[in-house]
Amino acid sequence: MTEQDSSAGGPSIDELRRRYQEERQKRLRPDGMAQYRDLSDEFEDLDRDPFVEPGFTRDPVVEEVTVVIVGGGFAGMLTAVHLAKHGITDVRIVEKAGDFGGTWYWNRYPGCMCDVESYVYLPLLEETGFMPTERYASATEIFGYSKLLARTFDLYPRALFQTDVTGAEWDPESRRWQVTTSRDDRLSARFFVLAGGILHKAKLPGIPGIERYEGKAFHTSRWDYTTTGGSPSEPMDKLADKRVGVIGTGATAVQVVPQLARAVKELYVFQRTPGAVGVRNQRPTDVEWFRSLRPGWQHERIVNFTQAVTGAQPEEDMVADGWTEMMWVDTQKAPGSEEEAEALERADFEAMETIRRRIDEIVEDPGTAEKLKPYWGKHCKRVCFHDEYLPAFNRPNVHLVDTDGRGVDEMSARGPVVDGVEYPVDLIVYASGFEVTTDLHHRLGFDPKGRDGVALSERWAKGAHTLHGVLASGFPNLLLISLVQGGFGTNFSHLLSESAKHVAHIVEACVEQEIVEIEPEESAEDEWLSVLLGVGMGGARYFMSCTPSFYNSEQQAIDQRAARNLTYTGSLLEYVGYLERWRQPLEFAGVKVRREAPVEPGSVATAKGMAPENVVAPRRPGHARRWSP
Ligand code: NDP
């Protein structure tokens, strides 16, 4: 893309650079992450689980198990599945929701589906024998699949649903985690796995006067079908005479807007930053093709997809969809030269120009089309793929209310106000997303206390300390699956599968080798941090120029804490490589382990069967890990 683009009718690189900066500038705000409101803390009514019958009770559970897992989404379920494969089945899964599924339990809004191909997204397809009905599975199908996974791997008897963990403390005497819950359970666990979700804590926009609104309102992850009628698979039938406002134009809104457009009298879509929406091309699964797949196909396809969306450019693009086409060139990587920097910038502009041109081709009103155009780099936010979102704006009952980057100015008792115009609505749907980069203990809803009673919030007050985002010093036998110092990827279930496998391996090795305490050396954590920072530096240049989003903590100034709380920003496969090399062979490099004391014949073991001298450093002292990928 050069000056010729202007002559061909497209903008020049300079024009685009200027436009991107202007648009970014409009969205920068001094309050950064603090602009949002916390659904569970501040709007309890809106946080209620609409999918369970009220009044559930059960007797408290008091028990000792090998593992307590917090979270019954894919991360928690897959951890339990991999543990079971290693023969460890005395596991408790504590889950706030009324069933398994995590994201797919909560997100039942109409039109909800996974934008990653089902054949690479749904884990363990070869083991369950399940064939997704469509290339991109609906949320209903994925929720159903979660339940199938739970049945297949016998997870239901191990679950405590509708239960929040309220506290967890490491007990040095018993060398166990003592876990308490909102239903008075007392669980004692040798290992404590935090798989509490990545996109589970809903946030509301910080619109001044948001409490003033007197109509119906809910967040997309708490869809109220009693208000809208219908169900995830049936059209909404109570909105035909209603005016509805949707706040947000991210990945969720892109899926929900077309459904609402069909069902309501008037739909107002309040936009702060336009989303990028590429071609979806949904289609039913080709049954013959699916049946022809040979053993091992799924892992191969998953890896191939991740290669294709991280710029590794595999020989064959197996999935060959909007994702792989859009992300084929990794334009956020550190360029080796000025020429490469320019080539990457050009490739990014070109990819986004395709998105912008598509809007002109579909949206009939040129003014609306212009306002729907995203001017940000393709790695700055999650790109979406949908074939009905843009056409929805051609309907006479759908109105785009563009806020020119500011967001809704205020809320009145009757509805949102933008530029002095009040939009009275009967219902507001907040498609305003989730907390992703806030403190982990805040998102978990409890603050684990580790060695010497030190809470995670204290230990991480100036940022996280972990090895691979999985083990944390000061917190023996605690295993984390989160984005904090962990991996990241387009296909979240790939990340969660690999993390779960890793966690299960560690637990299994500890059980087999009679290790009673495992905890990383601080020096190993520091080494991991330098890896994260080294990789992060590459993308920093790109991300600093991005429009604000949860990807970059709303462009909040990066302090020491934020710098430590980063994710591994390189390829997911590189991150997985670190995990695999660390555990194959499993030598516990950079980790302190304490083994069960051998009981000498005729001798009396200590109260807990342990001897302090049994503390061992890495099994091969001085064994230094090389951190390069
Ligand atoms: P997002 O955080 O992506 O979007 C929130 C939206 O709310 C943005 O458009 C944001 O604007 C807007 N907003 C926030 N504050 C205001 C305000 N004051 N006034 C007006 N608008 C406001 O949340 P989503 O739920 O859409 O998506 C979150 C993530 O969930 C995705 O990135 C993806 O990872 C996952 N997801 C995945 C799907 C899949 O198919 N796999 C489907 C749906 C979600 P702005 O952009 O300016 O911040």
Concatenate the DSSP letters of all residues of 374-409 into one string.
--S-TTTS--EE-SSHHHHTTSTTEEEEE-TTS---
Q: What one-character DSSP code corresponds to residue 402?
A: E
pLDDT tens digit string along 423-444? Answer: 999 999 999 999 877 888 888 8
* pLDDT (mean) for 480-500: 96
State how far the Cα of 222 lies from the Cα of 219, in Å rounded to an integer. Answer: 5
Residue 249 CB less than 6 A away from ligand 1: yes
**Given ligand 1 and candidates 382, 496, 550, which is best to mutate, with the most ligand atoms within 8 Å of its CB?**
382
How many C-beta neighbours within 10 Å does residue 347 have?
A: 16
Share of the chain above pLDDT 90, in %: 79
C-alpha 384 to ligand 1 mean position (Å): 11
At residue 182 the predicted structure's pLDDT band, cuts being 50, 70 and 90, is very high
Protein residue closest via CA to atom 35 of ligand 1: 251
Res. 166: pLDDT tops 70: yes
Q: What percent of the chain has pLDDT over 70?
A: 93
pLDDT for position 510: 96
Ligand 1 centre distance from Cα of residue 458 (Å):
30
| 150 to 85, 140, 581: CA distances (angstroms) | 14, 15, 30
Question: pLDDT band at 597, cuts 50/70/90?
Answer: low
State in Å: Cα 386 to ligand 1 middle: 15
Give yes or no for residue 248 CB within 6 A of ligand 1: yes
The finding on whether 437 has its CB within 6 A of some atom of ligand 1 is no
Q: If you measure from the C-alpha of residue 254 to the centroid of ligand 1, how many angstroms do you get, rounded to a whole number?
A: 9
Q: Is the CB of 304 under 6 A from ligand 1?
A: no
Q: Which ranges of 184-250 would DSSP assign to H, the alpha helix?
A: 225-228
Looking at every residue in the chain, the average pLDDT score rounds to 91
Out of 249, 488, 493, give the residue to mutate to test ligand 1, the one with the largest number of ligand atoms within 8 Å of its CB. 249
Band the pLDDT of 8: cuts 50, 70, 90: low
CA 381 / ligand 1 centre spacing (Å): 9
d(CA 84, CA 91): 9
Residue 71 · residue 102 · CB < 8 Å: yes
Determine the distance separating the centroid of ligand 1 and the alpha carbon of 252, expressed in angstroms. Answer: 6
pLDDT tens figures, 290-335: 999 999 999 999 999 999 999 999 999 999 999 999 999 999 988 8
The number of CA neighbours under 13 Å toward the Cβ of 404 is: 4
d(CA 254, CA 246): 10
The answer, yes or no, to whether residue 614 has pLDDT greater than 50, is no
273 Cβ below 6 A of ligand 1: yes
For residue 430, report the distance from its CA to the centre of ligand 1, in Å: 10
- What whole-number distance in Å separates Cα of residue 138 and Cα of residue 496? 20
C-beta separation of 193 from 184 below 8 A = no
Ligand 1 pocket check for 253: Cβ under 6 Å? yes
Mutate to test the pocket of ligand 1, among 252, 418, 556 (most ligand atoms within 8 A of CB): 252
Range list of H helices, 264-382? 287-292, 297-309, 322-327, 338-362, 366-371
Going by alpha carbons, the residue nearest to atom 37 of ligand 1 is 251
**b/e map 180-190, b = 16+ CB within 10 Å:** bbebebebebb
Please calculate the CA angle 299-577-623 and round it to the nearest 5 degrees. Answer: 145
pLDDT at 309: 97
CA of 219 from ligand 1 middle (Å) equals: 11
Q: Is the C-beta atom of 565 inside 6 A of ligand 1?
A: no
Dihedral sign of CA atoms 553, 558, 564, 570 in order: positive
Q: Is the CB of 555 under 6 A from ligand 1?
A: no
The reply to whether ligand 1 has any atom less than 6 angstroms from the CB of 250 is yes
Q: 292 burial class (0-12, 13-18, 19+ CB within 10 angstroms)?
A: exposed
Ligand 1 mean position, distance from CA 260 (Å): 17
* Residue nearest atom 5 in ligand 1 by C-alpha distance: 432
Lowest mean pLDDT among 10-14, 272-276, 369-373: 10-14
Mean pLDDT of 144-166: 97
pLDDT in tens, 56-99: 999 999 999 999 999 999 999 999 999 999 999 999 999 999 99
**What structural domains and CATH numbers belong to the chain?**
3-45+202-280+333-430 (3.50.50.60), 62-200+437-623 (3.50.50.60)
